[in-house]
Amino acid sequence: MRAFRIDSHDTPAILKEVARPAPGAGEIGIRISACGLNFADLLMLKGEYQDTPPLPFTLGMEVAGTVEALGDGVEGPAIGSRVAVFGGQGGLAEYGCFPADRAVLLPETMSFADAAAFQIAYGTSHVALDHKARLQPGETLLVLGAAGGVGLTAVEIGKLMGATVIACARGADKLEVARNAGADHLIDAETDEIREACRALGGVDVVYDPVGGDQFKSAMRACRPEARILTIGFASGEVPKIPANHLLVKNISVLGLYWGGYLGFRPQVVTDSLTCLFDWYTEGRLKPHISHVLPLEKAQDGLDLMSTRKSTGKVVVTMD
Protein backbone atom coordinates (compact mmCIF):
# COMPACT_ATOMS: atom_id res chain seq x y z
CA MET A 1 0.00 0.00 0.00
CA ARG A 2 1.01 3.65 -0.31
CA ALA A 3 1.83 5.66 2.80
CA PHE A 4 3.21 9.15 3.43
CA ARG A 5 6.12 8.30 5.70
CA ILE A 6 8.68 10.20 7.71
CA ASP A 7 11.99 8.38 8.21
CA SER A 8 14.03 11.27 9.62
CA HIS A 9 13.27 14.68 11.12
CA ASP A 10 16.02 16.08 8.91
CA THR A 11 14.47 14.99 5.60
CA PRO A 12 11.03 15.54 4.02
CA ALA A 13 8.28 12.95 4.37
CA ILE A 14 7.80 10.89 1.20
CA LEU A 15 5.09 8.76 -0.38
CA LYS A 16 6.34 5.17 -0.54
CA GLU A 17 5.18 1.58 -0.80
CA VAL A 18 5.01 -0.24 2.53
CA ALA A 19 3.52 -3.50 3.76
CA ARG A 20 -0.19 -3.40 4.51
CA PRO A 21 -0.63 -3.80 8.30
CA ALA A 22 -2.80 -6.37 10.06
CA PRO A 23 -4.72 -5.38 13.19
CA GLY A 24 -3.34 -6.53 16.51
CA ALA A 25 -5.23 -7.24 19.71
CA GLY A 26 -7.74 -4.48 20.43
CA GLU A 27 -7.39 -2.96 16.96
CA ILE A 28 -9.46 -2.64 13.81
CA GLY A 29 -8.13 -2.56 10.27
CA ILE A 30 -9.55 0.25 8.13
CA ARG A 31 -9.54 0.99 4.43
CA ILE A 32 -8.90 4.70 4.73
CA SER A 33 -10.94 7.04 2.55
CA ALA A 34 -9.92 10.42 3.98
CA CYS A 35 -7.45 11.92 6.44
CA GLY A 36 -7.65 15.38 8.00
CA LEU A 37 -4.44 17.39 8.30
CA ASN A 38 -3.61 19.28 11.48
CA PHE A 39 -1.03 21.79 12.65
CA ALA A 40 0.39 19.03 14.83
CA ASP A 41 1.44 17.17 11.66
CA LEU A 42 3.80 20.06 10.90
CA LEU A 43 5.28 19.80 14.38
CA MET A 44 5.70 16.04 14.02
CA LEU A 45 7.74 16.56 10.85
CA LYS A 46 10.29 18.40 12.98
CA GLY A 47 9.96 16.17 16.03
CA GLU A 48 8.51 19.04 18.08
CA TYR A 49 5.05 17.67 18.93
CA GLN A 50 4.46 16.35 22.45
CA ASP A 51 3.23 13.01 21.07
CA THR A 52 5.60 12.56 18.12
CA PRO A 53 5.84 8.79 17.47
CA PRO A 54 9.21 7.04 17.21
CA LEU A 55 10.68 6.97 13.71
CA PRO A 56 9.76 5.84 11.12
CA PHE A 57 6.03 6.51 11.08
CA THR A 58 3.17 7.52 8.82
CA LEU A 59 1.76 11.02 9.28
CA GLY A 60 -1.96 11.70 9.68
CA MET A 61 -3.76 11.95 13.02
CA GLU A 62 -7.44 11.50 12.16
CA VAL A 63 -9.06 9.28 9.56
CA ALA A 64 -12.37 8.15 8.17
CA GLY A 65 -12.98 4.93 6.30
CA THR A 66 -14.45 1.44 6.29
CA VAL A 67 -13.70 -1.36 8.75
CA GLU A 68 -12.14 -4.31 6.92
CA ALA A 69 -10.69 -6.47 9.71
CA LEU A 70 -10.94 -7.02 13.47
CA GLY A 71 -8.02 -7.86 15.74
CA ASP A 72 -8.07 -10.39 18.57
CA GLY A 73 -10.63 -9.61 21.24
CA VAL A 74 -12.48 -7.03 19.13
CA GLU A 75 -16.21 -7.52 18.68
CA GLY A 76 -16.98 -4.31 16.82
CA PRO A 77 -17.57 -2.08 15.06
CA ALA A 78 -18.64 -4.65 12.48
CA ILE A 79 -16.76 -5.21 9.25
CA GLY A 80 -18.20 -2.85 6.65
CA SER A 81 -18.97 -0.10 9.17
CA ARG A 82 -18.18 3.50 8.26
CA VAL A 83 -16.09 5.00 11.06
CA ALA A 84 -13.89 7.90 12.08
CA VAL A 85 -10.85 7.37 14.32
CA PHE A 86 -8.36 9.63 16.06
CA GLY A 87 -5.26 7.48 15.87
CA GLY A 88 -2.53 10.06 16.40
CA GLN A 89 -0.58 8.75 13.40
CA GLY A 90 -0.96 6.43 10.41
CA GLY A 91 -3.72 8.30 8.60
CA LEU A 92 -1.95 9.30 5.38
CA ALA A 93 -2.09 5.80 3.93
CA GLU A 94 -4.47 3.57 2.04
CA TYR A 95 -4.94 1.23 5.02
CA GLY A 96 -4.34 1.53 8.75
CA CYS A 97 -4.83 -0.18 12.11
CA PHE A 98 -6.20 1.79 15.04
CA PRO A 99 -7.58 1.17 18.55
CA ALA A 100 -11.11 -0.19 18.26
CA ASP A 101 -12.29 1.76 21.30
CA ARG A 102 -11.55 5.04 19.51
CA ALA A 103 -13.72 4.27 16.49
CA VAL A 104 -16.86 6.37 16.12
CA LEU A 105 -19.69 5.22 13.86
CA LEU A 106 -20.57 7.85 11.27
CA PRO A 107 -24.04 9.25 10.67
CA GLU A 108 -25.41 8.17 7.30
CA THR A 109 -25.44 11.78 6.16
CA MET A 110 -21.76 12.41 6.94
CA SER A 111 -19.22 12.17 4.14
CA PHE A 112 -15.78 10.69 4.73
CA ALA A 113 -14.23 14.11 4.06
CA ASP A 114 -16.40 15.77 6.71
CA ALA A 115 -15.66 12.96 9.15
CA ALA A 116 -11.91 13.27 8.65
CA ALA A 117 -12.15 17.01 9.30
CA PHE A 118 -14.35 16.70 12.36
CA GLN A 119 -13.00 15.13 15.53
CA ILE A 120 -9.89 17.10 16.43
CA ALA A 121 -11.06 20.56 15.39
CA TYR A 122 -14.60 20.37 16.75
CA GLY A 123 -13.58 18.22 19.70
CA THR A 124 -10.87 20.65 20.77
CA SER A 125 -13.17 23.65 20.61
CA HIS A 126 -16.11 21.98 22.32
CA VAL A 127 -14.11 20.57 25.22
CA ALA A 128 -12.30 23.89 25.59
CA LEU A 129 -15.38 26.10 25.56
CA ASP A 130 -17.82 23.82 27.37
CA HIS A 131 -15.79 21.62 29.72
CA LYS A 132 -12.87 23.94 30.52
CA ALA A 133 -14.08 27.55 30.16
CA ARG A 134 -17.76 26.93 30.97
CA LEU A 135 -18.77 29.49 28.35
CA GLN A 136 -22.19 30.95 29.18
CA PRO A 137 -24.92 32.44 26.95
CA GLY A 138 -24.46 36.18 26.69
CA GLU A 139 -20.72 36.15 27.36
CA THR A 140 -18.25 37.58 24.87
CA LEU A 141 -15.81 35.14 23.24
CA LEU A 142 -12.67 36.28 21.41
CA VAL A 143 -11.29 33.70 18.96
CA LEU A 144 -7.74 34.21 17.71
CA GLY A 145 -6.69 32.47 14.50
CA ALA A 146 -10.40 32.40 13.74
CA ALA A 147 -10.12 31.11 10.16
CA GLY A 148 -7.85 28.18 11.02
CA GLY A 149 -8.66 24.54 11.63
CA VAL A 150 -9.62 24.84 15.30
CA GLY A 151 -10.35 28.57 15.37
CA LEU A 152 -13.18 28.37 12.88
CA THR A 153 -14.89 25.62 14.87
CA ALA A 154 -14.58 27.77 18.01
CA VAL A 155 -16.45 30.56 16.23
CA GLU A 156 -19.17 28.13 15.17
CA ILE A 157 -19.52 26.39 18.54
CA GLY A 158 -19.28 29.63 20.53
CA LYS A 159 -22.18 31.02 18.54
CA LEU A 160 -24.19 27.84 19.10
CA MET A 161 -23.56 28.16 22.85
CA GLY A 162 -25.06 31.64 22.86
CA ALA A 163 -21.94 33.81 23.06
CA THR A 164 -21.20 37.04 21.25
CA VAL A 165 -18.23 36.05 19.09
CA ILE A 166 -15.33 38.30 18.11
CA ALA A 167 -13.22 36.70 15.38
CA CYS A 168 -9.61 37.73 14.83
CA ALA A 169 -7.81 36.64 11.64
CA ARG A 170 -5.47 38.03 9.00
CA GLY A 171 -7.04 39.69 5.97
CA ALA A 172 -10.51 40.31 4.60
CA ASP A 173 -10.88 36.89 2.94
CA LYS A 174 -10.24 34.97 6.15
CA LEU A 175 -12.46 37.29 8.14
CA GLU A 176 -15.29 36.65 5.70
CA VAL A 177 -14.93 32.91 6.33
CA ALA A 178 -15.24 33.62 10.07
CA ARG A 179 -18.28 35.82 9.49
CA ASN A 180 -19.95 33.00 7.56
CA ALA A 181 -19.30 30.70 10.55
CA GLY A 182 -21.26 33.03 12.82
CA ALA A 183 -18.86 35.73 14.06
CA ASP A 184 -20.59 38.89 15.29
CA HIS A 185 -17.53 41.16 15.15
CA LEU A 186 -14.31 41.00 13.14
CA ILE A 187 -10.76 42.09 13.94
CA ASP A 188 -8.07 42.13 11.24
CA ALA A 189 -4.83 41.03 12.91
CA GLU A 190 -2.86 42.67 10.11
CA THR A 191 -4.20 46.18 10.68
CA ASP A 192 -6.21 46.38 13.93
CA GLU A 193 -4.95 46.55 17.51
CA ILE A 194 -6.62 43.63 19.25
CA ARG A 195 -6.70 45.16 22.71
CA GLU A 196 -8.32 48.41 21.63
CA ALA A 197 -10.78 46.76 19.26
CA CYS A 198 -11.99 44.40 22.01
CA ARG A 199 -12.20 47.14 24.61
CA ALA A 200 -14.33 49.19 22.22
CA LEU A 201 -16.74 46.25 22.26
CA GLY A 202 -16.80 46.11 26.05
CA GLY A 203 -14.02 43.59 26.68
CA VAL A 204 -14.06 39.79 26.59
CA ASP A 205 -15.02 36.99 28.97
CA VAL A 206 -13.31 34.07 27.22
CA VAL A 207 -10.27 34.04 24.92
CA TYR A 208 -9.67 31.06 22.63
CA ASP A 209 -6.01 31.19 21.61
CA PRO A 210 -4.32 28.75 19.20
CA VAL A 211 -1.80 31.47 18.22
CA GLY A 212 0.18 32.63 21.24
CA GLY A 213 2.84 35.33 20.96
CA ASP A 214 1.86 38.98 20.83
CA GLN A 215 -1.79 38.16 20.17
CA PHE A 216 -2.02 36.41 23.54
CA LYS A 217 -0.60 39.47 25.27
CA SER A 218 -3.04 41.83 23.56
CA ALA A 219 -6.02 39.57 24.24
CA MET A 220 -5.16 39.24 27.92
CA ARG A 221 -5.19 43.03 28.25
CA ALA A 222 -8.70 43.09 26.78
CA CYS A 223 -10.08 40.66 29.38
CA ARG A 224 -12.82 41.54 31.80
CA PRO A 225 -12.53 40.53 35.47
CA GLU A 226 -12.90 36.74 35.90
CA ALA A 227 -12.16 36.11 32.22
CA ARG A 228 -10.83 32.73 31.13
CA ILE A 229 -8.03 32.38 28.59
CA LEU A 230 -7.76 29.05 26.75
CA THR A 231 -4.29 28.18 25.49
CA ILE A 232 -4.83 25.82 22.56
CA GLY A 233 -1.53 26.11 20.70
CA PHE A 234 1.23 28.39 19.51
CA ALA A 235 0.92 28.79 15.76
CA SER A 236 2.92 32.03 15.97
CA GLY A 237 5.92 30.02 17.11
CA GLU A 238 6.13 31.96 20.38
CA VAL A 239 5.01 30.56 23.72
CA PRO A 240 3.94 33.63 25.71
CA LYS A 241 5.21 34.38 29.20
CA ILE A 242 2.25 35.00 31.47
CA PRO A 243 2.52 37.83 34.02
CA ALA A 244 0.98 36.23 37.08
CA ASN A 245 0.41 39.61 38.74
CA HIS A 246 -2.02 40.57 35.95
CA LEU A 247 -3.95 37.36 36.54
CA LEU A 248 -4.18 38.18 40.21
CA VAL A 249 -5.35 41.77 39.83
CA LYS A 250 -8.16 40.94 37.38
CA ASN A 251 -8.98 37.45 38.72
CA ILE A 252 -8.21 35.94 35.31
CA SER A 253 -7.75 32.20 34.76
CA VAL A 254 -5.45 30.69 32.10
CA LEU A 255 -6.55 27.19 31.10
CA GLY A 256 -4.46 24.77 29.06
CA LEU A 257 -6.25 22.41 26.68
CA TYR A 258 -4.72 19.39 24.94
CA TRP A 259 -7.67 17.45 23.55
CA GLY A 260 -5.80 14.22 22.88
CA GLY A 261 -4.52 14.12 26.44
CA TYR A 262 -8.02 13.43 27.75
CA LEU A 263 -7.96 10.05 26.02
CA GLY A 264 -5.29 9.01 28.48
CA PHE A 265 -6.80 10.14 31.78
CA ARG A 266 -10.49 11.07 31.28
CA PRO A 267 -11.69 9.57 27.99
CA GLN A 268 -15.34 10.06 28.96
CA VAL A 269 -14.88 13.82 28.48
CA VAL A 270 -14.04 13.19 24.82
CA THR A 271 -16.75 10.56 24.40
CA ASP A 272 -19.48 12.81 25.79
CA SER A 273 -18.27 15.76 23.73
CA LEU A 274 -18.22 13.79 20.48
CA THR A 275 -21.72 12.44 21.15
CA CYS A 276 -22.97 16.01 21.43
CA LEU A 277 -21.03 17.15 18.36
CA PHE A 278 -22.23 14.33 16.11
CA ASP A 279 -25.79 15.03 17.22
CA TRP A 280 -25.33 18.69 16.27
CA TYR A 281 -23.95 17.63 12.89
CA THR A 282 -26.90 15.31 12.25
CA GLU A 283 -29.27 18.15 13.16
CA GLY A 284 -27.55 20.40 10.61
CA ARG A 285 -26.15 22.76 13.25
CA LEU A 286 -22.48 22.19 12.32
CA LYS A 287 -20.96 22.36 8.86
CA PRO A 288 -17.22 21.62 8.53
CA HIS A 289 -15.35 24.14 6.39
CA ILE A 290 -12.84 22.33 4.15
CA SER A 291 -10.86 24.71 1.97
CA HIS A 292 -8.85 22.05 0.11
CA VAL A 293 -9.36 18.37 -0.75
CA LEU A 294 -6.24 16.74 -2.21
CA PRO A 295 -5.24 13.22 -3.31
CA LEU A 296 -2.67 11.25 -1.31
CA GLU A 297 0.12 11.99 -3.78
CA LYS A 298 -0.30 15.69 -2.96
CA ALA A 299 -0.19 15.32 0.82
CA GLN A 300 2.90 17.53 1.02
CA ASP A 301 1.02 20.27 -0.84
CA GLY A 302 -1.63 20.11 1.88
CA LEU A 303 0.97 20.53 4.61
CA ASP A 304 2.48 23.45 2.69
CA LEU A 305 -0.93 25.14 2.50
CA MET A 306 -1.15 25.04 6.28
CA SER A 307 2.42 26.13 6.95
CA THR A 308 2.07 29.14 4.63
CA ARG A 309 -1.38 29.97 6.06
CA LYS A 310 -3.05 29.66 2.65
CA SER A 311 -5.79 27.34 3.88
CA THR A 312 -8.90 28.09 5.91
CA GLY A 313 -10.70 25.60 8.10
CA LYS A 314 -9.41 22.13 7.28
CA VAL A 315 -7.32 20.48 4.58
CA VAL A 316 -8.34 16.89 3.80
CA VAL A 317 -6.42 14.22 1.89
CA THR A 318 -8.43 11.50 0.15
CA MET A 319 -7.34 7.99 -0.87
CA ASP A 320 -10.23 6.97 -3.15
pLDDT, tens digit, for every residue of 34-60? 999 999 999 999 999 989 999 999 999
Q: The whole model's pTM is what?
A: 0.94
Average pLDDT over residues 63-86: 96
**In the predicted structure, residue 113 carries a pLDDT above the cut 90:** yes
Sorted by where each begins, the domain ranges of the chain are 2-118+288-318, 121-260
Average pLDDT over residues 248-269: 95
CA 91 to chain centre: 15
pLDDT (0 to 100) of residue 311: 96
Q: Report the helix count and the strand count for the chain, using DSSP H and E.
A: 11, 16
Q: In whole numbers, what is the pLDDT of the chain averaged over residues?
A: 96
Amino acid at residue number 320: D
pLDDT (0 to 100) of residue 261: 93
Q: To the nearest whole percent, how much of the chain has pLDDT over 70?
A: 100
Decide: 38 and 86 in contact? Cβ < 8 Å: no
Q: Which band of pLDDT confidence, cut at 50, 70 and 90, is reported for residue 315? A: very high
CATH class of the domain whose range is 2-118+288-318: alpha beta
Instruction: Report the C-alpha gap between 232 and 154 in whole angstroms.
Output: 11
**In the predicted structure, residue 33 carries a pLDDT above the cut 90:** yes
**In the predicted structure, residue 229 carries a pLDDT above the cut 90:** yes
pLDDT (0 to 100) of residue 52: 94
β-strand pairing of 204-209 with 223-231: parallel
If one looks up domain 121-260 in CATH, what number appears?
A: 3.40.50.720
Handedness of CA 74, 80, 86, 88 (dihedral sign): positive
**In the predicted structure, residue 199 carries a pLDDT above the cut 90:** yes
Average pLDDT over residues 115-143: 98
